[in-house]
Amino acid sequence: MNIKFIASKRLQSLSRRQEGYPELKKAYDENLADMERSGNIREAISKAKDGPVIYLPHHLVVREDSRTTKVTPLFDAFAKGYNGVLLNDCLEAGPNLLPNILEVLLRFRRWKVAVTADVAKAIDKKLRDGTQGTFFIR
């Protein structure tokens, strides 16, 4: 099946889901606008000049228990295209950059006072040129 077709159908499904819930649509649109302002996404002006264009299907995730972002888009890089290839299969894996949990816990217990922080928006900003990930929005 064509991944562009899947992405288009997911957008139609998302639009139908938001029809009766204007607050849901507003929150989702605000989230996408925030992603655009922060430089995580941008509008693709024209077709890619070289290489394939990969469309990312996305859908709405509602987390009532979240204090910060209750509504967020979830991009599906595991959706298979017509050739059965996933976007995740095409990306280079690279080394594991996560710290060893035992070392983290030992450092945490080393001092009398501990300070923690949370990432505001956890998203990969590497998809910059528009040819690596494209998705439909209304």
Kindly write down the DSSP assignment for every residue of 11-52, as one continuous string. HHHHHHHHTT-HHHHHHHHHHHHHHHHTTS-----S--SSS-
Residue 127 has a pLDDT of: 47
Q: Would residue 131 count as lying in a domain?
A: no
pTM of the model: 0.58
Residue 101 has a pLDDT of: 94
Q: Would residue 52 count as lying in a domain?
A: yes
Q: Would residue 115 count as lying in a domain?
A: no
C-alpha distance from residue 74 to each of 11, 17, 32, 123 (Å): 12, 15, 11, 11
Q: Would residue 78 count as lying in a domain?
A: yes
Expressed as residue numbers, the domain containing 75 is: 3-110
Q: Would residue 40 count as lying in a domain?
A: yes
Q: Would residue 77 count as lying in a domain?
A: yes
Averaged pLDDT score across all residues of the chain? 78
Residues with Cβ within 8 Å of residue 127, at least 6 apart in sequence: 41, 133
Name 61's bridge partners: 72
**Backbone torsion region of residue 64, taken as left when φ is above 0, otherwise alpha when ψ lies between -120 and 50, otherwise beta:** alpha
The residue type found at 88 is N
Q: Would residue 127 count as lying in a domain?
A: no
Identify whether the C-beta of residue 47 lies closer than 8 Å to the C-beta of residue 128: no
Identify whether the C-beta of residue 76 lies closer than 8 Å to the C-beta of residue 134: no
What domain count does the chain have?
Answer: 1
Q: Would residue 70 count as lying in a domain?
A: yes
**Residues of the chain scoring pLDDT < 70:** 1, 46-52, 81-82, 118-138
Residue 82 has a pLDDT of: 66
